[in-house]
Amino acid sequence: MTAPSLREALPVWAKIGVLSFGGPAAQIALMHRIVVDEKGWLDERQYLNALSFCMLLPGPEAMQLATYVGWRLNGVWGGLVAGLLFVLPGAAVILALAATY
């Protein structure tokens, strides 16, 4: 595992946040492809352990997984950035749609 700097991870989390739609299964698969297959930040075992842990917790596991992976790679700031960038693009779209309504 080669952990990126927070600066390197920021555009990746933004990309995941923008492309994440289609429900938790699609979001988790996208995150796996980018974090494990493309970037190599986590290996398969680490990712599946994180996913299993997040599935035990109540709430949205894709959001929890993004936050956990960000924390694992870059500490508290990484978790905050990953979690916010995972949620903000979708929230912005909903706010824009609500404003036009």
pLDDT(67) > 90: yes
Render pLDDT for 5-50 as a digit per residue (tens, 0 to 9).
999 999 999 999 999 888 899 999 999 999 999 999 999 999 999 9
CA 18 to chain centroid, in Å, comes to 11
| Global confidence as pTM | 0.89
Instruction: Please state the domain extents for the chain.
Output: 6-100
Q: Please say whether the beta carbons of 18 and 32 come within 8 A.
A: no
